[in-house]
């Protein structure tokens, strides 16, 4: 466990590998990766084999040299592809938030619900931030046919409470600071893990662009605000990366946590199950083992944590409200309910379209419609350009996004469509597209941050 902690602090993208080693130390038979061909377990160039050299001293020196080179390369891409884009984009968003809070009048809607001592606290805690703080302060509640905080998943407010508790704080300001810290640390981890995940299949430049495009995406402000999106994204990416490395202990645990971070979090089980199936099929082919026996490999128990987490959450909700699905039914108060995609589109065109939604046009925003079309195009392209498990996961998230009764907030929900950023990064190989994305995404991101900080509806 100490190895995992060190990896998380110094090398976020390597944390799942250290976790994997911890799991295998306790139960090495849980790892089927030895039977997975190189094409399925993408690895770097093989390390020097000290035993092939003459002289223990020379072998040890070469091993240390190789470790230092690898560490240096890792530090270089973390700085260039993660830290620099993170600091740069967050600085621009903070500048936009300052302009909004100091120069613009407050929005006409209840987006701003509290005035904190510092302007950036108010700017980053608008809209859904009040629901998360109400959970930490008062616990969950459920009022049928009314907006209730039971609609929000438990992991993010729990992390706010736990982090504030580390320093012995139990007040709203401390919970707010803890939540913003969790969001931004999670964004940093998401960028590192996305870069590492894309690097398994593509070149370093494409991987770096994927992380940059995520940080620049027009609604990336929600990955730094008092929202659970960045926490879910970090956990989902960690689970996907662990599955690619056949680290089922880490994949199942991170997938279970992702299930508790967002209402649609259980969807992460789909790509993990696909990757597990690929690993087992490879094991059957290479060893000639009976297929039924191979599928019952103990590693599948770790993936079983994902549905178990959903059942545990439903059981808690049942104990609290008497209805295990109250967390889903509460969504109806926001106009969210299970709806066929064509019905969602019909509602969109039932009334006049507005440039953007809000209380006057919740279901009729042209921006939300354009975002849905964009994500549909990216998901469609992903079936030709990225790994099948990722493409299927992206399609599942997209279908959930357009099947809940309204397209409102799909610009934010789309942040969870991981393959979309891989496709964008591949398109970024064209210099014209790359430059256009940098300019367009930066402008939209700043504008959305100004609107959100002033209390206007964005997503």
User: What's the pLDDT at 345?
Assistant: 87
pLDDT in tens, 187-239: 999 999 999 999 999 999 999 999 999 999 999 999 999 999 999 999 999 99
What is the arithmetic mean of pLDDT over 122-132? 89
Domain ranges of the chain: 2-41+49-453
What is the arithmetic mean of pLDDT over 101-124? 75
User: What's the pLDDT at 103?
Assistant: 83
pLDDT in tens, 359-389: 556 678 889 999 999 999 999 999 999 999 9
Q: For residue 346, what pLDDT band results from cuts at 50, 70 and 90?
A: confident
User: What's the pLDDT at 282?
Assistant: 78
Give the separation between CA 213 and CA 430, rounded to whole angstroms. 14
User: What's the pLDDT at 21?
Assistant: 47
User: What's the pLDDT at 333?
Assistant: 84
pLDDT in tens, 242-278: 999 999 999 999 999 999 999 889 999 999 999 998 8
Residue 289, pLDDT > 80, answer no
What is the arithmetic mean of pLDDT over 72-85? 85
pLDDT in tens, 128-159: 998 999 999 999 999 888 889 999 999 999 99
What integer best gives the mean pLDDT of the chain? 83
What is the arithmetic mean of pLDDT over 110-136? 82
Residue 185, pLDDT > 90, answer yes
What is the arithmetic mean of pLDDT over 293-312? 83
Mean pLDDT check: name the lowest of 351-355, 398-402, 444-448: 351-355
User: What's the pLDDT at 46?
Assistant: 40
User: What's the pLDDT at 363?
Assistant: 74
Residue 38, pLDDT > 50, answer no
- Helix pair angle (248-259, 229-244), 10° resolution: 160
Verdict on whether the full-model pTM lies above 0.75: yes
User: What's the pLDDT at 447?
Assistant: 93
Highest mean pLDDT among 1-15, 49-63, 231-245: 231-245
Mean pLDDT check: name the lowest of 35-39, 119-123, 157-161, 218-222: 35-39
Q: For residue 398, what pLDDT band results from cuts at 50, 70 and 90?
A: very high
What is the arithmetic mean of pLDDT over 438-456? 92
Percentage of the chain exceeding pLDDT 90: 54
């Amino acid at each position: 466990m100490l190895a995992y902690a060190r990896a998380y602090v110094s090398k976020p993208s390597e944390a799942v590998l250290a976790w994997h080693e911890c799991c295998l130390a306790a139960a090495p038979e849980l790892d089927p990766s030895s039977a997975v061909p190189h094409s399925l377990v993408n690895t770097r160039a093989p390390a020097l084999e000290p035993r092939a050299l003459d002289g223990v001293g020379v072998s040890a020196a070469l091993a240390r040299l190789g470790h230092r080179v690898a560490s240096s390369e890792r530090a270089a891409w973390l700085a260039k592809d993660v830290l620099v884009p993170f600091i740069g984009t967050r600085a621009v968003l903070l500048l936009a938030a300052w302009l909004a809070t100091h120069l613009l009048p407050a929005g006409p809607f209840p987006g701003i619900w509290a005035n904190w001592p510092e302007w950036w606290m108010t700017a980053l805690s608008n809209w859904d931030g009040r629901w998360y703080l109400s959970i930490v302060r008062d616990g969950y509640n459920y009022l049928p046919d009314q907006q209730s905080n039971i609609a929000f998943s438990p992991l993010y407010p729990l992390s706010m409470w736990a982090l504030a508790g580390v320093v012995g704080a139990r007040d709203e300001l401390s919970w707010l600071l803890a939540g913003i810290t969790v969001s931004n640390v999670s964004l940093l981890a998401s960028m590192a893990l996305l870069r590492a995940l894309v690097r398994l299949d593509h070149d370093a430049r494409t991987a770096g662009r994927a992380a940059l495009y995520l940080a620049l995406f027009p609604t990336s402000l929600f990955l730094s605000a008092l929202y659970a999106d960045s926490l879910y994204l970090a956990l989902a990416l960690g689970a996907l990366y662990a599955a690619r490395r056949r680290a089922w202990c880490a994949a199942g645990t991170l997938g279970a946590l992702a299930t508790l971070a967002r209402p649609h979090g259980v969807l992460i089980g789909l790509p993990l199950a696909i990757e597990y199936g690929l690993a087992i099929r490879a094991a059957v082919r290479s060893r000639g083992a009976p297929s039924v026996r191979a599928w019952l490999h103990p590693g599948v128990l770790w993936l079983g944590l994902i549905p178990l987490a959903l059942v545990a959450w439903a059981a808690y909700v049942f104990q609290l409200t008497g209805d295990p699905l109250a967390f889903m039914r509460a969504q109806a108060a926001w106009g969210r309910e299970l709806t066929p995609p064509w019905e969602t589109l019909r509602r969109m065109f039932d009334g006049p379209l507005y440039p953007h939604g809000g209380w006057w046009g919740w279901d009729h925003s042209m921006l939300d419609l354009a975002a849905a079309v964009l994500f549909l195009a990216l998901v469609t392209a992903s079936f030709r350009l990225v790994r099948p498990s990722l493409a299927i996961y992206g399609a599942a998230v997209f279908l959930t996004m357009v099947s809940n009764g309204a397209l409102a907030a799909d610009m934010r929900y789309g942040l969870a469509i991981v393959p979309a950023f891989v496709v964008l990064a591949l398109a970024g190989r064209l210099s014209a597209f790359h430059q256009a994305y940098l300019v367009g995404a930066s402008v939209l991101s700043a504008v959305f941050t100004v609107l959100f900080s002033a209390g206007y509806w964005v997503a």
